[in-house]
């Protein structure tokens, strides 16, 4: 018996599942799903052992982006950013952003570091966010994380990820984070 494996080529090792992929591909997807579930359980266990409490914050922000001069290559851009943040996180931030590419052409990237100072659901302090984003042919990938060890005062040991969205010209944030129980 000869199986196509979903590729149209003969494959004696992995039969076609009938859904456009081989059993090997289905096995790989299942294995990855199980591995991700196990990782989530480990992360939850570590949070429980360390006494960390998970929470979610939402709100809006206004941002002022000011272009700066980059010595050397005109293909690279540098900007300073200043935000006023409202909602579950109230405060301000300042930072620096480096850019490359052309958003008008559909391909670009940026990285940024941003120091946030304010109050997160009653916990006052500061922390640093690290941004990394790419856009290619309309596909976007944005990753914003708290820099480990950057939290101060009641935000010491803060960890988390933030997502930004723009709707109707307004900027919104969603922030999933953990804080130690002592900070509660």
pLDDT digits (tens, 9 = 90+) for 7-25: 444 444 444 444 445 555 5
Which pTM does this prediction carry? 0.70
Query: Which superfamily, per CATH, for 53-183?
Result: SO1590-like (2.40.350.10)
Is the pLDDT at 92 greater than 50? The verdict is yes
The CA-to-CA distance between both ends of the chain, in Å, stands at 64
Task: Please give the C-alpha separations between residue 183 and each of 53, 119, 151, in angstroms, as whole numbers.
Answer: 9, 12, 12
Provide the token pair at 105: 């052409």
Which residue's entry shows tokens 């299942």?
Answer: 30
Q: Are 143 and 109 in contact (CB under 8 A)?
A: no
What is the DSSP code (8-state) at residue 7?
Answer: T
- Work out the angle at residue 139's Cα, subtended by the Cα atoms of residues 56 and 105, and round it to the nearest 5 degrees: 125
Please, which pLDDT band fits residue 33 given cuts at 50, 70 and 90?
low
Q: Are 21 and 6 in contact (CB under 8 A)?
A: yes
For residue 145, what pLDDT is reported? 97
Is the pLDDT at 68 greater than 90? The verdict is no
């Amino acid at each position: 018996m000869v199986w196509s494996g979903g590729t149209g080529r003969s494959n004696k090792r992995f039969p076609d599942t009938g859904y456009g992929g081989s059993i090997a591909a289905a096995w790989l997807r299942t294995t990855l799903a199980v591995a991700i579930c196990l990782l989530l359980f480990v992360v939850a266990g570590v949070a429980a052992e360390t006494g960390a409490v998970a929470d979610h914050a939402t709100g809006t922000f206004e941002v002022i982006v000011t272009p700066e001069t980059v010595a050397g290559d005109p293909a690279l851009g540098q900007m300073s950013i200043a935000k006023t943040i409202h909602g579950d996180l109230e405060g301000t931030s300042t930072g620096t952003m480096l850019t490359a590419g052309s958003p008008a052409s559909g391909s670009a990237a940026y990285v940024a570091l941003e120091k946030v100072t304010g109050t997160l659901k009653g916990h006052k302090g500061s922390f640093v966010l690290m941004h990394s984003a790419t856009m290619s042919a309309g596909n976007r990938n944005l990753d914003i994380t708290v820099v480990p060890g950057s939290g101060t005062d009641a935000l010491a040991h803060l960890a988390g990820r933030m997502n930004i969205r723009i709707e109707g010209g307004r900027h919104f944030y969603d922030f999933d984070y953990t804080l130690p129980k002592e900070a509660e």
